[in-house]
């Protein structure tokens, strides 16, 4: 179980540092943490070496902390963005409507100039 905890700790720590992949690595991290703790307790009773289990518990603990931080950071960003959009909805819609009007005018002017030049050349 110590080897399994170490492997799950390594994998979940690597995936934990990748944004948006940490959620996938959360379950293996918890499983590795449980396996490592169980292995430490069993090997402590038998006075056997428990280095791999300790390393697995440390790595899965690091992975869980990193995954929690990424989740907190991205949730704060998304909540802040949603609040900003809710509070400034009128300004944003005015801005986009102005931009759409500008691009529509540009498109009409561009096409009018292109076709007027095209027809003048063909005459």
3 state DSSP class of 86: helix
Rounded alpha-carbon distances, angstroms, from residue 109 to 21, 48, 99, 112, 119? 47, 82, 15, 5, 15
Q: Which tens digit of pLDDT belongs to each residue from 56-112?
A: 999 999 999 999 999 899 889 989 888 888 888 888 788 877 777 776 666 666 666
pLDDT computed for residue 111 by the predictor = 61
Distance between CA atoms of residues 62 and 50, nearest Å:
19
Domain boundaries, the chain: 2-67
For the stretch 7-51, pLDDT in tens is: 999 999 999 888 878 788 999 999 999 999 999 999 999 999 989
In the block, tokens 């396996």 appear at 35
Name residue, tokens 């069993």.
42
- Asked whether 5 and 36 are in contact (CB, 8 A), the reply is yes
Residue 49 CB-density burial (10 A; 0-12 exposed, 13-18 middle, 19+ buried):
exposed
Q: Can you give the pTM of this predicted structure? A: 0.67
Distance (Å, whole) CA 52 – CA 113: 74
């Amino acid at each position: 179980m110590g080897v399994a905890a170490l492997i799950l700790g390594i994998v979940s720590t690597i995936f934990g540092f990748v944004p948006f992949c940490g959620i996938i690595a959360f379950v293996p991290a918890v499983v590795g943490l449980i396996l490592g703790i169980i292995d430490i307790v069993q090997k402590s009773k038998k006075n056997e070496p428990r280095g791999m289990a300790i390393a697995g518990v440390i790595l899965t603990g690091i992975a869980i902390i990193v995954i929690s931080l990424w989740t907190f950071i991205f949730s704060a960003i998304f909540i802040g963005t949603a609040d900003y959009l809710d509070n400034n909805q009128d300004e944003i819609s005015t801005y986009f409507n102005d931009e759409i009007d500008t691009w529509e005018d540009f498109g009409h002017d561009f096409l009018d100039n292109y076709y007027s030049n095209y027809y003048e050349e063909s005459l």
